[in-house]
Amino acid sequence: MLIVTGGAGFIGSNIVHGLNQRGRSDIIVVDDLRDGRKALNLADLTIADYYDKDEFISLIRDGKDIGEIEAVLHQGACSTTTEWDGKYMMETNYRYTRELFHWCQNRRIPLVYASSAATYGGGREFREEPSCERPLNVYGYSKLAFDQYFRRYLDDLRAPVVGLRYFNVYGPREQHKGSMASVIHHFGNQMQESGRIKLFEGCDGYADGEQERDFVDVRDCVAINLWFLEHPEVSGIFNLGTGQARPFNAMARAFLDWHGRGEIEYIPFPEHLKGRYQSYTQADLTALRNAGCDHTFHDVEAGVKAYLDAVSG
């Protein structure tokens, strides 16, 4: 049996889908479905059981038996980068992960958990090293706090543990994320409303729409998660991006090319994001490649086409 926390969320439900495609349906999904729209991400998937996230952590804390578990893919988190309730963020992202980590270690269960490129903040180097880590928001700090905690145990693990620092992920099954959905999702809404898509004007020395991010297709995120499941000899913290920064304009052009119409509108950079915005990200994949993972990532043009083909079908 496999456990996928956050299994009704964006990346989690895509992992469940990927497991189903590989013939696996012995999956326990853990999530919070108070926002019932997330349940639609599971409607076309097959799972064995479901636990509410609070029910699940209570079982963990009480040491209850939930059957033989092969591995845990921990995707559950508050991913709202504009949330500043630090108590809530640390309880949800840090403490929950810490308790799950020890539960897995005590039972020798492999754990793959979601970290984030938000741990790096506004720097120009994106290596999995403390010297590169300076988050710009409490979300990024909550992820970094657990990465730091995990590092204390890295040389004395009883079961494999992998932290994956997701860069800018896009793909199907993110419709519930609201303002935290990828730019492609927002482009779709904007196109329906006005036939125009919006990008920020220049900032941090970048021209209009030329801020660069490492945009990664969710299919690649699924593939890397499952690669680590198949390679239990590897533990550590690894970047999960393409290794190639691309401007928002490139994402916008790929979107408009697929539609065959529309135009870009550049809007003023929001005051509340100044000093808290990553204008550039690019995953350093050295550690991932040194671990033996030679996965080939989709580029923006192929990924955007696949995304729009999927959501339009």
Q: How confident is the model at residue 244 (pLDDT cuts 50, 70, 90)?
A: very high
Percentage, residues of the chain above pLDDT 90: 80
Please name the residues in contact with 151: beta carbons below 8 A apart, sequence gap of 6 or more: 237
- Please name each of the domains of the chain with its CATH number: 2-169+217-243 (3.40.50.720)
Mean pLDDT check: name the lowest of 22-36, 167-181, 191-205.
Answer: 167-181
Write down the catalytic residue from 94, 120, 139, 166.
139
Average pLDDT for 269-294: 90
pLDDT of residue 175: 74
Res 19 pLDDT > 80: yes
pLDDT of residue 177: 65
> Which residues are 202's β-sheet partners?
none
Has 139 been annotated as catalytic? yes
Write down the catalytic residue from 177, 198, 277, 305.
177
Q: What is the pLDDT of residues 115-131, one digit of tens each?
A: 999 999 988 899 999 99
265 backbone dihedrals φ, ψ, rounded to 5°: -115, 130
pLDDT of residue 279: 86
Res 82 pLDDT > 80: no
Q: How confident is the model at residue 174 (pLDDT cuts 50, 70, 90)?
A: confident
pLDDT of residue 178: 66
Please name the residues in contact with 136: beta carbons below 8 A apart, sequence gap of 6 or more: 118, 121, 122, 275, 276, 277, 278
pLDDT of residue 161: 98
